[in-house]
Amino acid sequence: MRDYELDDRYDGDRDDRRPRPGPRNRYERPEPARGPAWYGMFLLIGLALGAVGLWGGSHLVNKFRGERPGLDPNAQLRAAVPAGPLDLEESEAVTLFENVKDSVVNVDVVMVKRGRWDEQSTELQTSGGSGFIWDTSGRIVTNYHVVAEVRRKPNTELRVVLADRTAYSAVLLGTAEDSDLAVIQISAPKDKLKPITVGTSNDLKVGQKAYAIGNPFGLSLTMTRGLISSLNRIIESPSGIKIPKVIQTDAAINPGNSGGPLLDKTGRLIGVNTSIATPNGGNVGIGFSIPVDTVNRVVTELIQSGRSLRPDLGVKLFDERRLRQARYDRGVMIERLVPKGAAESAGLRGCSFNPRGVVTQPGDLITAINGQTIDNVEDYERVVRDLQPGTTATVKIQRYPNELEIPVTVGGV
């Protein structure tokens, strides 16, 4: 409780009576003077708080940057252990790649947009694949479907990129759509042209090693390895004609590998990679290659004349399913003859029909060609594709009740 003493005196000259303050509370002390010690104490407290803040901020920054205890700014490189020698398979693969890589090229289709007089032309790659050097004249083999766009679209050109990444414009010499093959040519110095070594495919065995080199997804000079998974597959060419004796391999083949070489372990060309079987557009271990025996023949014809004749006997075959229903267990039957074709000229016969289209006389049943048994349409197409236009083939037929062998001069289409 605080006590106050009031002055009760009045000013005679004034009507109001004002209290006058007495002395302060006797317990209230005067404020002390703020000397240097007081300011020094607050300075020390401020410095301490600043140091704590700097330490905490640095800790948070380091934590944010992912730094952890245990970092050593004086850390040194670990000593590397020298590589061991390559094993036999590794040496085989490395040697093969070094020997063949300069023969493999990228084949690109580019669209050229011509500029005005004050603008430069621009190029846009529209598609691409692989290829390989065939000879020192600059001829290059690839797939027909790799270069087909050049014929379909205006303002498109062919561009070939060699292993050393030099690029050359190319011209289209010839195509064989039925075999999915094409030959193009570049003008390059001969010292840059290393022709591939050509092998054979009629002596291949399932289980042999197979190597593919190409340009999958634009990744130049990619090599993959696998086995020959099967032989004598049949695939469809861009024209819809069947290609027989195709090689199946599990060497990884992807979009962009088309037109590239399939090689045996010595680096010989044994096929041209052309397609894959896939449910999703990527490699699943089933790739197909056109056999080199077919490639060698077709490419030679393209170089000679710019076109390749597909061997043909000039017949249209009777539907195989209906033939089996008619109790013909083997062979293929001639339904119709192509006018002035090879079979008609040789005296072979097709079916006879009544006005309602019902067969009244069966056609000749082909059971063998050049000694090779013909059990079905697949056999017929495979054997005929190996014939050479202009040569003579011996066709074995059944013309009830006789069995005949008739020589036929093979035609070409």
145 given a catalytic annotation: yes
121 given a catalytic annotation: no
Q: Which residues have C-beta within 8 Å of that of residue 239, sequence separation ≥ 6?
A: 177, 178
Q: Which residues have C-beta within 8 Å of that of residue 101, sequence separation ≥ 6?
A: 163, 213, 221
Peptide bond into 30 cis (omega under 30): no
Q: Look at the block and give the residue holding tokens 């010690």.
A: 37
Q: Which of 103, 145, 178, 220 is catalytic?
A: 145
Q: Which of 103, 130, 179, 180 is catalytic?
A: 180
Q: Cα 309 to the chain's mean position, in Å? A: 30
Q: Look at the block and give the residue holding tokens 């580019």.
A: 110
Alpha carbons 335 and 377: distance in angstroms, whole number: 13
258 given a catalytic annotation: yes
Backbone φ and ψ for 133, nearest 5 degrees, come out as -75, 125
SS3 of residue 326 by DSSP: coil
Alpha carbons 76 and 47: distance in angstroms, whole number: 39
What angle is formed at CA 57 by the lines to CA 51 and CA 60, rounded to 5 degrees?
140
Alpha carbons 18 and 336: distance in angstroms, whole number: 143
Alpha carbons 44 and 30: distance in angstroms, whole number: 27
Let me know: does 348 contact 406? Beta carbons within 8 Å: yes
Token readout for 259 is: 């037109």
Let me know: does 331 contact 215? Beta carbons within 8 Å: no
Could you give the residue numbers annotated as active site? 145, 180, 258
